[in-house]
């Protein structure tokens, strides 16, 4: 039966009505695990720059930025002009290589150090999935080593040891979803992030079976310790193992060339997305010609051919948006501004917590921030569990009450549309929120 939705006079449904309908037609009333719950009482109506307005007419400073996709902010003029122009020409030609896709691939190759060839996908989950398939085909091995607490998408390996609550001995995998085949669980190895010694020990022991080591160079909000990425690069290279950087978060955010550019460590394969599309669904696998050529359809039918395809991959409208994103990010001072915003926010939060005597520290790199309610250093997933998750959500809910939009419990993002004045305003709200989050 179709759910009835009453539309009040004026053409807009109320938040209460939409919330009731959401609970009726969506599992849990939400769009996914890491999505804003309808119970939080916010349904967006419009957005511009660094701000969003709800159906109820409330205005919010957006520090979610589309889950990190809106690195330019909402409705950036250059991006909107590119999208509008492409809509007038046509927006999808199914599997036909367009000028926009070709130009975009060339731009990606020009800025990402590891990129000799580019293959597009529609989502980050697809990109990491295909990268691991390429690694297996290239090496002739099956096992994958990932780091505890890392998220590599919705596919099976992506949610193995994503958020384990028990301290199983490494490299024991712990699935965080039902429905994952036992064989795949057993072929996944787990190591602690930032522990090079333990990761190297696992690699040395399992080297003949490991196809890939995949990691987020900035895992969630935790930066790599000096020498960690370099050590993984040396060890994987020595044993013929593909090093895969999941740069869905760091790509086009820490630097134009992503984390590999920012940290100076070049992987065999890298996956980018999120910021690349500027809010439109696109991702890409990039890497050396020898590996990437395995998905050339001219190799179809051969034993080493890697199947990869997608109906909406780099369709013209999305590619036009992505081109405008990269062009805007090449503007002089763009990344300096993004890093200045993040530094100001993190340093401001640390100063407020010191002044108020609150045991918390701000983490993140570039235009990202996360406030961990603990004074114990966080270097990996297990040390992150020392942080008080309830206090974090209480803090975020207080920010929401004051018109600062964050996803409770999650990392926050900033964009080119934010100003230092926006950061100062958010810090003022954060100080009030920290004093009232228990009240």
From the number of C-beta atoms within 10 Å of its C-beta (0-12, 13-18, 19+), residue 428 rates as middle
274 labelled catalytic: yes
Q: Give the SS3 label for residue 393.
A: helix
Cβ–Cβ < 8 Å for 128, 155: yes
246 labelled catalytic: yes
Q: Which one from 51, 221, 261, 274 is the annotated catalytic residue?
A: 274
Q: Which one from 60, 130, 151, 413 is the annotated catalytic residue?
A: 151
401 labelled catalytic: no
| Calpha distance 362→430 (Å, rounded) | 12
The CA-based angle 267-334-99, given to 5 degrees, is 65
Question: Six-digit token pair at 208?
Answer: 């003949």
| Calpha distance 433→405 (Å, rounded) | 13
Of 313, 271, 260, 280, nearest to 129 by C-alpha is 271
| Calpha distance 52→69 (Å, rounded) | 15
| Calpha distance 160→215 (Å, rounded) | 13
Q: Which one from 62, 130, 221, 246 is the annotated catalytic residue?
A: 246
State how far the alpha carbon of 217 is from the alpha carbons of 63, 66, 190, 345, in Å. 22, 21, 16, 21
Active-site residue set: 151, 246, 274
């Amino acid at each position: 039966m179709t759910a009835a939705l009453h539309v009040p006079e004026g053409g807009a449904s109320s938040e209460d009505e939409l919330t009731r309908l959401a609970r009726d037609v969506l599992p849990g009333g939400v769009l996914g695990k890491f999505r804003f719950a309808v119970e939080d009482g916010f349904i967006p109506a419009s957005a511009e720059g660094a701000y969003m307005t709800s159906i109820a007419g409330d205005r919010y400073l957006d520090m979610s930025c589309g889950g990190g996709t809106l690195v330019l902010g909402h409705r950036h003029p250059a991006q909107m002009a590119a999208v509008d122009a492409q809509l007038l020409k046509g927006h999808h030609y199914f599997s036909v290589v367009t000028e926009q896709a070709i130009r975009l691939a060339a731009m990606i190759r020009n800025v990402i150090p590891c990129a000799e060839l580019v293959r597009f996908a529609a989502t980050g989950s697809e990109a990491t999935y295909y990268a691991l398939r390429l690694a297996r085909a290239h090496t002739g091995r099956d096992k994958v080593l990932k780091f505890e607490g890392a998220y590599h998408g919705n596919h099976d390996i992506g949610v193995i040891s994503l958020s384990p609550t028990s301290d199983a001995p490494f490299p024991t995998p712990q699935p965080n979803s039902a429905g994952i085949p036992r064989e795949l669980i057993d072929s996944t190895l787990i190591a602690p992030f930032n522990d090079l010694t333990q990761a190297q020990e696992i690699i040395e022991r399992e080297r003949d079976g490991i196809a890939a080591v995949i990691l987020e160079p900035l895992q969630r909000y935790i930066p790599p310790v000096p020498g960690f990425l370099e050590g993984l690069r040396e060890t994987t290279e020595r044993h013929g193992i593909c090093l895969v950087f999941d740069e869905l978060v760091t790509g086009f955010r820490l630097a134009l060339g992503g984390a590999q550019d920012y940290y100076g460590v070049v992987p065999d394969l890298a996956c980018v997305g999120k910021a690349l599309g500027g809010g439109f669904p696109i991702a890409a696998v990039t890497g050396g010609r020898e590996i990437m050529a395995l998905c050339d359809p001219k190799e179809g039918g051969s034993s080493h051919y890697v199947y990869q395809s997608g109906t909406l991959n780099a369709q013209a409208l999305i590619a036009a948006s992505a081109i405008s994103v990269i062009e805007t990010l090449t503007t002089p001072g763009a990344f300096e501004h993004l890093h200045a915003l993040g530094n100001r926010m993190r340093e401001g939060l640390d100063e407020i917590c010191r002044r108020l005597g609150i045991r918390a520290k701000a983490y993140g790199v570039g235009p990202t921030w996360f406030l961990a309610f603990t004074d114990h250093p966080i270097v990996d997933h297990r040390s992150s569990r020392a942080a008080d998750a309830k206090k974090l959500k209480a803090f975020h809910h207080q920010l929401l009450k004051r018109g600062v939009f964050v996803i409770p419990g999650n990392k926050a993002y900033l964009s080119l549309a934010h100003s230092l004045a926006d950061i100062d305003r958010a810090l003022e709200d954060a100080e009030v929120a920290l004093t009232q989050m228990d009240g």
